[in-house]
Structures are given as C-alpha cells and as structure tokens.
Amino acid sequence: MEIELSEEQELLRETVRRFAREVVAPRAKQIDASGEFPLATFRQAAELGLAGVCVPEELGGAGMEMIAYCVAIEEISKVCASTGVILSVNNSLVCDPLLRFANDEQKRQFLAPLAAGAKLGCFALTEPEAGSDAAALRSRARRDGDRYVLDGDKVFITNGTHADVALVFASTDPEKKHRGISCFVVPCDTPGFRRGEHEYKLGVQASGTTQLFFDAMSVPAAWRLGEEGAGFKIAMSTLDGGRIGIAAQAVGIAQGAFEAALAYAQERQQFGQPISKFQAIQFYLADMAMELDAARLLVYKAAWAKETQKRYSLEAAQAKLFASEMAQRVTNKALQIHGGYGYTREYDVERFFRDARITEIYEGTSEIQKLVIADWILKAG
Amino acid sequence: MAIDFSLSDEQELLRQEVRRFAEERIRPGLRERDRAHEFPAGLVAEMGELGLLGMLVPEELGGTGHDPLSYCVAVEEVSRVCPSLGVTMSVTNSVCCWPIVRYGSAELQRRVLPELAAGRAIGGFCLTEPSSGSDAGAMRSVARREGSDWVLDGEKAWITNAGPGRYFVALAKTDLAAGKRGISAFVVPADAPGFRVGTGEEKLGLRASNTAAVYFDGCRIPAANLLGEEGQGFKIALATLDHSRLGIAAQSVGIHQRALELATDYARERIQFGVPIAEHQAVRFMLARMATELAAARALTYAAALAEHRSDAGRLAAEAKAYASEAANRACRDALQIHGGNGFCEEYEIARLYRDVRVTTIYEGTSEMQRLVIARQLLAR
C-alpha cells in the first residue's frame, strides 16, 4: 500500500492549482452570479489536457491515470465547482464511454475533438420522469433503414447549453425495458435537436444545465455506440466512473471551504482573541480536516480500483456517497465559522455551500449509492 | 511511488494467519471469559509465541520487526474476534515495547524486550492518575533519586494489563517546579519493592482484559531504568500516545468489521413482513453506511500507519483514532438495532461488541483530545 502521489501527479497538481488560481478563480464569482457558461475557460483547461485526462495521447487526450484526473478535478473544483463539473462530464461521461465502446471511426470522428477540448460533450440520460429510475426513460429511437429517428425530452443536462456532441440514450425496443435501451453519439447541430432555456439552480450555476428535445431527429446507424440494447449497460458503467469524478469534485469544494474557514478563524477576532482559540471552532476545523482526509483517500482508492480492477462500482459508490455528504457537512461548518459574513455573497463559502448540495444528487443520489453498496455487501460472503 | 491500496503478499498472509489463529484459538470461550472477567493468560502466551506481542521490536531484540501497517492489520484481526485481547496486544506493543525501543538504553532493551516480545512478560503503561486523565501533565506521582536508584511514589488509575503485567512504562515527576518538563519516564518491573496492583475494575466492556490501579509506595528501581533523559518523560508519553493511536484505530476497525459481518448475516436470515429484513431499505441503508464508514476508517488507519515519517503523522494518527473509534461506535449501534431485541441479549455477539466498542473513543486520548491535537496542528501551519 502507498498513499503518496507520483512525482508526475504532484507536478500535475501544481500545474492545475496554478491554472485554477490564475485563470479559473478570478471568474468564479462572476459566472456564479450571471450563470454564464465558461467556454473560454474550458478551452484553456483543454490546453493543459484537462478535457480528456485519461484518453490516450494519440486520441487527443493527456494519457494520464484516473488518480491524476481526480487530482485535477479536485483542484479546479476547489475554486469553481461549475468548471469542475463541466470537466467531469466531458471526461467521465462522454470521453470515457467513447473510449470504451466506440469503434475506430467513432473515436476518430467524436472522441479525438472532445478529448482535445475542440468540442464539448454532454450526457443525455435523465428525463423528467426517469431520474434514479433511468430504465423508465421514454425517449424512442425508431429504426428507419440505415438510420434511426429519435424522439424525446431530456432534462438537467450539464453542458447542454453549449455542448457540440451529446451521448443520447433512447429505447429501440420498449418491450425489453432496460435491455431495449441504446446509446447514440449525436452532434448537437443535427436537425431535430433543440436545447431548452438555461436552468437557474441553487448552485453550480455556470454548468450550462438545460433541457434537450429531440423531434424526429434522424441519425445514421453509424452513430450508435455499441450494440442495439447495450445502452443501459453503457450508461451504468459510465456512471460508475462518473461518480469518482463527482466525489473528487466534492473533495475540491470542501477543501476550498475548509481553507477559507481555517484562514478566517485565525483572522476574525471576538471576545478579544482570534475565534480559532475557541474549542468550538477548533472542533469544527478538526472534524472538517478528518472527514476531508478520509474522503480523499476513498476517492483515490476508487480511482486506483478503476485502474486495477474489473469491477469498482462499490468503491466508486462509497467514494461518491462519503465525499458528497462530507462536502455538505464541511461547507456548512465553514459557513458557520464565517458567521453572518458567510451568508453573504462577498465570501466564497456562501457559493461553496450552495455548490456542494448537488453532489449528493447528480450522477446517482446518495440513496442510489446506498442501494448499490448494500447490494454488494449482501452479495459478498 | 504511486497510489496503491493493496496490501503486500506478506501483509495478506499475516492477515490470514492471524485471522485463522483468532477464529480457531481465541473465539472458543469468548462469552465465558467476558462473563467471568477472565484474563486468558494462556492465549496471551500463545500470541507471544506467534510474535504478536513484539511486532514493533527489532528481530535482534527478539521481536518480529514488522512495519506499522502490518501491525495494524494484526491488531485488527485479533480485535475482530476479541477486542479484549486486541487491547492487551496493543498496549504491550504500542505503549510498552515501542517507547523502550525508541528511548531505552541498549542495556535496558536487552534486559526487558526479548521477554516482552516473546510473550513471556506482559507490558503496561502507567500514565493516567485518578485526577489526571486528559490533563496528563497534572500528574502527582513523584520519583526522587536515591544513590543509584529511583524511588517512586504515587497512584496510577485504569492501567491495562496491571495484574498480569511484568514491565510497565511509568511516568512520574522528578522536578516539581518544572511543570511538564519535570516529568520523567521509567521502566518499572512488577517485582520491584513497593510496587502494588489494586483489585481489577469491573468494566462495561473489554472484560477479558485486565484493568486495575497501580500503586508505587517507595517503589525502588535501578537508575538504568530511566527512559531517555530526565525531564523528557512528557515528550516520551506524547510520542508514545501518537503512536498508540494507530493500535486503537486498528482495534476499532476490527470491531467495526465484525459488527458489519454480524449485521449482514442477521439481515439475510431474519424474516419480517414475509421477506429477509435485508430487503427493506431502512436496513440496507444502515448496512451501506456501516460499510462505507468502515472503508473510510480503514483507509485513514492504514494511511496513518504509512505516514509515520511525515510531518503530518501526528494529525493523521489522531484523525484515524477519532474517526475509526466513532465510526465503530455508530456501526455497533446500528448492528445492534438491526438485531432488534435479540441484539440486546448476550447470546448474540453484537451485545458484547456494543459494550466493548464504547471505550475506544475514550482511552489513549479521548475523541475530544484527538480533535485538539488535530486543530493545533492545523493552526500551527
């Protein structure tokens, strides 16, 4: 067992940290207020290889390991959770399934520009009536010669307002339920593809969340990813990896809030001394550090498991569950330490507190993670 | 170096060997020993023969010279079956052998360590007093120099292994005017004149471990039994406790592991409303939390064991101890809840674990002291 990052990974952390501080952080407050999608930041991040961290270099990516990816997402999310999830979706939910399921032609056409950040991807699974119960989706793909015709609505699609390419899940055979779901790679300028309005949310305000509508959208069969009926498997295995990215995002948000609280507690004077001298504040800080360290280890463990094991659903679910709930508690304590100031938009902890909330919901709610974990525990032994 | 969460082949083998020994030799008679408050001297001798009592002692001094992570794995496996023997083992290794290895003279080491490491002698640690628990520096025990001897007077409380112990690391004030810098550490053999052990405590749990008061009444030991320098005792005590936190964290992980196993087995078998209670989400969610917190506790404990050379080692050990002990308490509570009324009856193993686990947040530094340690290190940066 070894818990130190490699030199290359430490170097990446330093590089991304500098980029986050110099480029991402100065825009974070403004895009949170306006909801403006940070497309320029995405392109700049892509220049560092952050659009396709784990995609091989010959396919346009950075060719690094899952741990490096987690480190990068953490460092970005530490200053801007919106940018963190934008990158996480492009990497985990779009590049990763393309890398695993796309044929050579699809890789050349779709994966390479996505991994290089020339194009932005989104993942269109969730529907108004199919959230945790993804298999209940109502989007349909009807075979028409060597093409498919897609109809349906998607909701809460991160990157949706600006994406160039969407992974779309639709049923090709509703009678087969989840075994009838297929996956398609669709350029967003395809006729019949329409975006909704930008969704204003509690947090991760600049992540381009929107609805997508497909109205008799005709796509060539060559854009189908994997076999007909393999879509649900592709979606679930993709979300396993996505959970690791969201767990890393949660660790980053919490780390940002923790560092702000640690600094504030040493500056803020009450009762004639810095509030860090009071046990109440010290205990908050200790709890935050303890849970952050535990969460980061679980994230690294899940990333390590994805690299080395066939199955890593358990590790990914545990990392996601623990890290997201940790982020909720840590950002809450950070805000509490800031007192009334923490409730104002002048301080970053207010944003961190709002941003953390979604990590318990998207890419599998905490409740879904618990069911996944319990299934594993009950199956084992 | 790179992140790796797998144990080495040797560590896996050690885990298997200790688990087999614990299941075959320690498990029989568990309940009877608990009920009778019986210290199993025979089993402790067997553990000594297996090398489990001198794991941190170099081989040339009769120990097995294991790394701290291997030691944690062994404590975990013993505690999974019998937390009482887990603490007997942890105390001998961590708070008796370890400070002697670290601070004892070569002559003292040769005199006592081979016996301790082989299990022919059991070790203890005399720090706590009736009126100085967390505030260890307020101790009243004194030691004065008389010719070539030290003479100790005082009273120590809640000393694990007091009755069967042969060697004790003991703290006493050698300079009353110097505060904490006036404290020194000694090795006191149980056959020293003026050494006396009180009657064993009746405890809520860990009943098969021995706990009693120790009295020094003009207790005379040779000057060569001083550990380190005169006045260095408080530093030695704190360093020892930093280290021993690993042992208690590992003990907590072992208890937690067993609680999860018991709860999972019971939930599979117990039928209510026509289905195994494992089918109910309320029960599944408890199992998921136990499993996730176990993964977090184990990761923190192992990480702390690997971090002994790092500048943040003390903080990590405190985090591991506080987190693992509190998580194990929650796990035993939930495991008992899953057992319903059966769990409240001593016929079921979880009832004893629920009692045993309670002390883990108290001894070798309460959770509150761990948080102060963590906060101090955070604020000192």
Exposed/middle/buried for residue A77 (C-beta within 10 Å: 0-12, 13-18, 19+): buried
Mutate: best of B72, B279, B292, partner A, most A CBs <10 A? B292
B325 and B278 share one domain: yes
Q: Contact A2/B4, CB-based, under 8 Å?
A: yes
What is the CATH classification number for the domain harbouring A194?
2.40.110.10
A44: closest CA of chain B, how far (Å): 28
Q: What is the mean pLDDT of chain B?
A: 97
- Tell me the residue length of chain A: 381
Strand, helix or coil for residue A170: strand
Do A154 and A268 fall into the same domain? no
A63: left (phi over 0), alpha (psi -120 to 50) or beta: left
State the pairing for strand pair A224-225/A181-187: antiparallel
Residue A260 and residue A207 in one domain: no
Residues B178 and B147 in one domain: yes
Is residue B286 domain-shared with residue B222, that is, in the same domain?
no
Q: Do the Cβ atoms of B288 and A266 come within 8 Å? A: no
How far is Cα B74 from Cα B80, in angstroms, rounded to an integer? 10
B261 part of the active site: no
Q: What is the CATH number of the domain that holds B17?
A: 1.10.540.10
Q: Clarify whether residues B230 and B240 are in a common domain.
A: no
Q: Does B380 touch chain A (CB under 8 A)?
A: no
Q: Give the 3-state DSSP-derived string for chain B, with helices as H, strands as E and coil as C.
A: CCCECCCCHHHHHHHHHHHHHHHHHHCCCHHHHHHHCCCCHHHHHHHHHCCCCCCCCCHHHCCCCCCHHHHHHHHHHHHHHCHHHHHHHHHHHHHHHHHHHHHCCHHHHHHHHHHHHCCCCEEEEECCECCECCCHHHCCCEEEEECCEEEEEEEEEEEECCCCEEEEEEEEECCHHHHHHHEEEEEEECCCCCEEEEEECCCCCCCCCCEEEEEEEEEEEEHHHEECCCCCHHHHHHHHHHHHHHHHHHHHHHHHHHHHHHHHHHHHHCEECCEEHHHCHHHHHHHHHHHHHHHHHHHHHHHHHHCCCCCCHHHHHHHHHHHHHHHHHHHHHHHHHHHHHHHHCCCCHHHHHHHHHHHHHCCCCCHHHHHHHHHHHHHCC
The answer to whether residues B150 and B206 belong to one domain is yes
Q: Do B296 and A297 touch (CB under 8 A)?
A: yes
CATH number at residue A65: 1.10.540.10
Subunit contact A266:B379, Cβ cutoff 8 A: yes
Asked whether residue A1 is domain-assigned, the answer is no
The per-residue pLDDT for range B289-308, each reduced to its tens digit, is 999 999 999 999 999 999 98
User: Where residue B180 sits, what CATH number does that domain have?
Assistant: 2.40.110.10
- pLDDT for the residue numbered A381: 60
CATH number where B324 lies: 1.20.140.10
**Residue numbers of the domain that contains A367:** 236-379
Query: Would residue A2 count as lying in a domain?
Result: no
Q: List CB contacts (< 8 A) between B376 and chain A.
A: 282
Same domain, residue pair B239 and B375: yes
- Asked whether residue A109 falls in the same domain as residue A126, the answer is no
Q: How far is A12 from chain B (nearest CA, A)?
A: 14
Residue B1 covered by a domain? no
Interface touch B372/A286, C-beta < 8 Å: yes
Within this chain, do residues B247 and B215 fall inside the same structural domain, yes or no?
A: no
Q: Are A260 and A203 members of one domain?
A: no
**Is A326 among the domain residues?**
yes
In this structure, the number of other CB atoms found within 10 A of the CB of residue B59 comes to: 12
In a 10 Å sphere around its CB, with 0-12 CB exposed, 13-18 middle and 19+ buried, how is residue A142 labelled? middle
Per-residue pLDDT of chain A (381 residues; tens, 9 = 90+): 999 999 999 999 999 999 999 999 999 999 999 999 999 999 999 999 999 999 999 999 999 999 999 999 999 999 999 999 999 999 999 999 999 999 999 999 999 999 999 999 999 999 999 999 999 999 999 999 999 999 999 999 999 999 999 999 999 999 999 999 999 999 999 999 999 999 999 999 999 999 999 999 999 999 999 999 999 999 999 999 999 999 999 999 999 999 999 999 999 999 999 999 999 999 999 999 999 999 999 999 999 999 998 899 999 999 999 999 999 999 999 999 999 999 999 999 999 999 999 999 999 999 999 999 999 999 986
pTM recorded for the entire structure: 0.96
Query: What is the spatial distance between Cα A332 and Cα B8, in angstroms, rounded to a whole number?
Result: 39
CA A70 – CA A18 distance, rounded (Å): 16
Number of structural domains in chain B: 3
B106: exposed, middle or buried (Cβ count in 10 Å: 0-12, 13-18, 19+): exposed
User: Which domain covers residue B195, as residue numbers?
Assistant: 124-234
Q: Identify the helix (H) or strand (E) that includes residue A379.
A: helix A366-379
| A255 and A219 belong to one structural domain | no
Task: Give the end of a domain, one of A177, A212, A229.
Answer: A229
Q: Do A286 and B288 lie within an 8 Å CB cutoff? A: no
Domain co-membership, A335 together with A241: yes
A249, A321: one domain: yes
Which residues of chain A lie closer than 8 angstroms to B295, CB-CB? Answer: 298, 301, 315, 318, 322
The C-alpha of A294 sits at a distance from chain B's nearest C-alpha, in angstroms, of 5
Q: Are residues B370 and B243 in the same domain?
A: yes
- Please check whether residues B245 and B353 belong to one and the same domain: yes
Please give the tally of structural domains in chain A: 3
Query: Does residue B164 sit in the same domain as residue B230?
Result: yes
- Option in B11, B293, B378 nearest A289 (CB): B378
Say whether both B332 and B248 belong to one domain.
yes
A366 neighbourhood in chain B, CB within 8 Å: none
Predicted local confidence at residue B80, as pLDDT: 98
Token readout for B377 is 């290190």
| Residue A246 sits in the same domain as residue A217 | no
User: Does residue A209 share a domain with residue A143?
Assistant: yes
| Interface ipTM above 0.85 | yes
**Are both B162 and B292 inside the same structural domain?**
no
**Which regions in chain B score pLDDT beneath 70?**
1
